[in-house]
Chains A and B, each alone.
Chain A
Amino acid sequence: SQTIHQWPATLVQPVGSPLSLECTVEGTSNPNLYWYRQAAGRGLQLLFYSVGIGQISSEVPQNLSASRPQDRQFILSSKKLLLSDSGFYLCAWSVMTGTQYFGPGTRLLVL
């Protein structure tokens, strides 16, 4: 069966510090991968998606970036965090059926 992991689960970072969040998927090959941000505990904002290694599409211009160095690894990064980057970050995967499966999320607080 397929599983998706995210770490860390919780992160507190100062403004201006770098960020690296990692997402890995097990039990499937060549998945589509997604990064979402959820602010104020509700709405989902798609940040990036990837259909293959090294292929990244950005949905919203911001100071975040994403990379996919391996088939089942998706990394969200920032060189300098802003207060507005605080939120709940969710990674998800899908195959051609369209159903997306979400990870447990990372809660980021920027102070």
Chain B
Amino acid sequence: GNSVTQMEGPVTLSEEAFLTINCTYTATGYPSLFWYVQYPGEGLQLLLKATKADDKGSNKGFEATYRKETTSFHLEKGSVQVSDSAVYFCALSDPFYNQGGKLIFGQGTELSVKP
């Protein structure tokens, strides 16, 4: 079946450090891939997405590249800020088994950025 695996958190970084949050997936079809961000006490917001292999999604300085050969969609940012502290979720939508447009989420990775 389809699944998403994210690196364990929490991740603690100093301001301006480089960020990588690993995400790998298993899917039977050709999924679309997403990163969502959840700030404390809020709902999830779409951060970026990619719909086919080698696509790069980017937003607010974050990037992720859809790597079909390694089944990965790692999130990166060159210089994090305190305001990036949040929980980050990787997710996939597999049209082959897409019943009702469901997303499969990873378990989330908490990021804490210290000044």
- Docked-complex contact B43 and A103, CB < 8 angstroms: yes
Give per-residue flags for A68-111: 1 if the beta carbon is below 8 A from chain B beta carbons, else 0: 00000000000000000000001010111011111111010000
A98 and B101 within 8 A (CB): yes
* Complex Cα–Cα for A32 and B103 (A): 12
Measured between beta carbons, the chain A residues less than 8 angstroms from B89 are: 44
- Say if the beta carbon of B25 comes within 8 Å of chain A: no
What chain A residues lie within 8 Å of B102 (beta carbons)? 34, 46, 49
Within 8 A of B (CB), among A9-66: 32, 34, 41-44, 46, 49-51, 57
Binds A, one of B15-23, B68-76, B105-113: B105-113
Question: Closest CB of chain A to B23's CB: distance in Å?
Answer: 15
B window 1-18: CB within 8 A of A: none
Nearest B-chain residue to A96, judged by Cβ:
B101
Closest residue of chain B to A104, judged by CB?
A: B43
B59-67, B77-85, B92-100 - the one binding chain A: B92-100
Contact A44 B105 (CB under 8 A): yes
Whether the pair B42, A105 counts as a contact (CB closer than 8 A) is yes
Determine the residue in chain B with the shortest Cβ distance to A95.
Answer: B101
Q: Which B residues are CB-close (under 8 A) to A99? A: 32, 34, 46, 49, 93
Is the CB–CB distance between A50 and B93 below 8 Å? no
A102 to B103, CA, bound (A): 12
Task: Give the distance to chain B from A54, nearest Cβ to Cβ, in Å.
Answer: 14
CB A55 to nearest CB in B, in angstroms, measures 9
A99 to B42 alpha-carbon distance, docked (Å) = 18
The distance in angstroms between the C-alpha atoms of A7 and B97, with both chains bound, is 32
Q: Is the CB of A57 within 8 A of B99?
A: yes
